[in-house]
Structure 1
Amino acid sequence: MIIESAERKNQYIVTGGKKLNGEVKLSGAKNAALPMIVAACLGEEYTTLRNVPTNLNDVKTLVNILVELGADIIVKGDVVACKRGGFPNHLRAPEKSSSIRYSLLLLGLAAAFSERLSLPLPGGCKIGDRKYDLHIHGLEKLGARIEEETASLFIESNGLKGSNIEFYLPTTSGTENIIIAAALAEGRTTLLNANTRPEVMQLAELLNAMGADVSCKNRIVDICGKNQIKGGIEISVMPGWDEAVTYAVAAGITNGEIYIPDFNTKYIKEDVRHLNMAGVRVFEWGSSLYISGKSKKNPFDLFTAPYPGINSDMQPIFAALALVADGTSSIADLRFTDRFQYVSELKKFGADIVSFGNTAIINGGQHLKGSHVNATDLRGGAACILAGLICEGQTTISNVEQIERGYENITTKLTSLGASIYAL
């Protein structure tokens, strides 16, 4: 079932000066949903995923790629049912595969089934050197043959065998690719220095329910390969922790108060620690998360790190928070040293921010004015929205398809909280 894309909007118009108040419900986590959709296609029977953010561009693209390659997928609202079907029914994946990085997982899926596939080089956010060498290293250790061509990767497998694999750097999608491929490999695979963040843990939970044998903890993943994975189960995608942190910062910088139902701090403890240090009060009450931005905002020093540290995805969001802090904050990205393209856009608002190497320095408390800015990538675009919420006057944000890759119905959700934002 191909998902039709809604009419594309090119810009967001944001008028600053509104406090955000009220309830915001989270969508399913994109970075959990995408590998779960691919993994569900290992099954011989339909596996049903609930709470899938099916309005996101990346989810639509991945589903459509899999369908075009023969997978059986049914989408109804936020429910996605998947099974292998005829995957892969073509030797080459469609060209749209180059638009999302998670298309790399199709290599592991094809290899698991002892098939061949040519994949256009993957894309995603343009945030510097995002290598896929660890994907290749891991899949080759399992016995796959991979050729790097000018604009594509070709994989061929005559049956995978378990192996001991060690990553020189923990990678989320690389870990997920090896898990998917090794689920049908002969024997046991042990992956050391894996990224065992929450999304990876839920992938293991899904596969175990489908009939695989995956153990995942403390940067070590063990997979005992099976001859077949039945599938035929139901599971809900975890809520978007990244979305929660973004809306928490939005409440903080606008001096507002919001609550997020059916969510807690389990997966964002380090983010919450920094939010509280910065003067954004975050606490649990019952089954909800409450955020108050009424306190004075303090400067902070932050560096990204693999889970349970602060994910690199969130550093542009914290940069927006630093804009209202009374003093100088620093942010160092230890994963993607070039993830500071958004800095030039924040400067257009009048922000006092500079970046060099893998670090940004923000002198907060400047008077910001609306501007015309560009969403350089997913999180950089979200940072521009946040800056627009606290500016004097109107802000126009272009290239918003980047934002819509990862934030479902963001204008509707912000409007419900009292923001002045609409798509044009």
Structure 2
Amino acid sequence: MTSSVDTALKQEYIVKGGNKLFGEVKLSGAKNAALPMIAAACLGEKFTVLKNVPTSLKDVNTLIGILQELGADINVDGTTVSCKRGGFPNQKIAPQRASEIRYSLLLLGLTAALGEQLELPLPGGCKIGDRKYDLHILGMQKLGAKVEENERGIYLESHLLVGNNIEFYLPTTSGTENVMIASVLAEGNTTLLNANTRPEVIQLADLLNAMGAKVSCGNRVVAVEGQSVIPGGVEVSVMPGWDEAVTYAVAAGVTGGEICIPNFNTSFIKEDVRYLNLAGVQVFEWGSSLYVSGKGEKKTFDLFTAPYPGINSDMQPIFATLALAAQGTSTIADLRFTDRFQYVEELKKFEANINAFGNTAIIEGGNPLKGTKVRATDLRGGAACILAGLFAGGETVITNISQIHRGYENIHEKLSNLGADIHVK
């Protein structure tokens, strides 16, 4: 099997539309759950073993490599990753490639928890608008860490963290995770208000508790009772990729196919499923599997992104593609990242009738799409281009596919196994 890292070195996806997707697709571990779990596992004195890690994803490989270079003891065996602190941090300046991924910000929480110092280059990730990291800095400072910004990046110095009440002005997933990681070794209690308590955050809390922390997650509230040590030495499996599940469900929808996703249920995607059903894509559970039928007529919908349990901003490009398959007008409003609409210009190249104004995309669906050459502007925008190519007439060429490989493991192979005509050139 060719890994996503290997294929990311190649240039393009070639997609020929018109094939209906049928069959079974197995999900990889969730990237956005695995990344904070890897960082948190490095708090432990003993090896913590993480199973079902999507180790062929670029972002996962990058974070593991950075942590190893900074002295963390990490071993990778297939989809199993074993982590402990080791000598982290063995230097005061993080490698420059930490700027490639946004989740490198979690090195701040890890460093603060361990009472060390580190200079971190400014984080990367998808270019989808004003993705501030001020709440990360606020959280570290509220716990007593010294944080400064300079032309090189973010400098953090920590000695003894003390628990505190911290309120975010808006929910942030990685900011919540950073404070959780930092505060488990702080003196006293920490309460984080207006936290983003997504399923990935809840699994991080479960991992930290298994390692010896005391963390509770409620509805937008996280409470941490600081401990003197985090032993580690446990084994936890990373949750399946719910975002991947929604993407393949939409793929079945736009092609008029039927797929089965084994060992997955709707518990993490209830709002996504509600919109899929509204759009005419039938989703239901049977036994331990999820079944999706896209054979019915597609219907228009009006979608607003929102903090969990609402639709994640990540998913709006995926739902925009589904709207193109429905006859009539749909709207999608993104209340967080207005610049996530960069993908709209790429979808227009398919002769799609879609326009973005401010924080809203207006989609006139039901018109035939024509294959074209497009660029993956970011992770989900690239996935949306693949989806459009699956039901467009003719051939579609997608460039900059390394963006797609940041979050989808072996996506072209999985789609090929469902009957799609897609390959890497």
SS at match of 2:229: coil
The residue that corresponds to 1:285 in the other structure is 286
Report the TM-score when normalising by structure 2: 0.98
The residue that corresponds to 2:143 in the other structure is 142
The residue that corresponds to 2:414 in the other structure is 413
> What percent identity do the matched residue pairs reach?
72
SS at match of 1:127: coil
Question: What is the one-letter code of the residue matched to 2:143?
Answer: L
Displacement after TM superposition at 1:81 (Å): 0.3
SS at match of 1:339: helix
Displacement after TM superposition at 1:80 (Å): 0.3
The residue that corresponds to 2:95 in the other structure is 94
Please give the alpha-carbon distance, in whole angstroms, between the structure 2 residues aligned to 1:159 and 1:91: 18
1:46 aligns with 2:47: yes
Question: What is the one-letter code of the residue matched to 1:260?
Answer: I
Counting only pairs closer than 5 Å after superposition, residues 10-409 of structure 1 correspond to structure 2 as 10-409=11-410
Please give the alpha-carbon distance, in whole angstroms, between the structure 2 residues aligned to 1:113 and 1:300: 48
Question: What is the one-letter code of the residue matched to 1:304?
Answer: T
Question: What is the one-letter code of the residue matched to 2:6?
Answer: A
Report the TM-score when normalising by structure 1: 0.99
Moved segments of 4+, more than 4 Å: none
Displacement after TM superposition at 1:5 (Å): 5.0
Please give the alpha-carbon distance, in whole angstroms, between the structure 2 residues aligned to 1:22 and 1:5: 25
Contact 2:301 2:331 in 1 (8 A): yes
Question: What is the one-letter code of the residue matched to 1:166?
Answer: E
SS at match of 2:340: coil
Please give the alpha-carbon distance, in whole angstroms, between the structure 1 residues aligned to 2:353 and 2:408: 27
Please give the alpha-carbon distance, in whole angstroms, between the structure 1 residues aligned to 2:165 and 2:391: 51
SS at match of 1:154: strand
Please give the alpha-carbon distance, in whole angstroms, between the structure 2 residues aligned to 1:385 and 1:159: 49
Question: What is the one-letter code of the residue matched to 1:241?
Answer: W
Contact 2:121 2:152 in 1 (8 A): yes
CA deviation vs aligned residue, 1:342-379 (integer Å, no higher than 9, x gap): 00000000000000100000000111111000000000
Contact 2:313 2:336 in 1 (8 A): yes
Q: Which runs of 5+ in 1 are unaligned?
A: none
Displacement after TM superposition at 1:337 (Å): 1.3
Displacement after TM superposition at 1:229 (Å): 0.3
The residue that corresponds to 2:6 in the other structure is 6
Question: What is the one-letter code of the residue matched to 2:174?
Answer: S
Question: What is the one-letter code of the residue matched to 1:6?
Answer: D
Question: What is the one-letter code of the residue matched to 1:384?
Answer: C
Please give the alpha-carbon distance, in whole angstroms, between the structure 2 residues aligned to 1:5 and 1:151: 28
SS at match of 2:247: helix
CA deviation vs aligned residue, 1:190-247 (integer Å, no higher than 9, x gap): 0000000100000000000000000111111010111110000000000000000000
Displacement after TM superposition at 1:9 (Å): 1.6
Please give the alpha-carbon distance, in whole angstroms, between the structure 1 residues aligned to 2:83 and 2:10: 29
Question: What is the one-letter code of the residue matched to 2:204?
Answer: L
Please give the alpha-carbon distance, in whole angstroms, between the structure 2 residues aligned to 1:146 and 1:5: 34
Please give the alpha-carbon distance, in whole angstroms, between the structure 1 residues aligned to 2:205 and 2:128: 28
CA RMSD of aligned residues (A): 1.0
Displacement after TM superposition at 1:151 (Å): 3.2
Displacement after TM superposition at 1:90 (Å): 0.9
Please give the alpha-carbon distance, in whole angstroms, between the structure 2 residues aligned to 1:413 and 1:288: 17
Please give the alpha-carbon distance, in whole angstroms, between the structure 2 residues aligned to 1:13 and 1:136: 42
Please give the alpha-carbon distance, in whole angstroms, between the structure 1 residues aligned to 2:409 and 2:5: 13
Question: What is the one-letter code of the residue matched to 1:231?
Answer: G
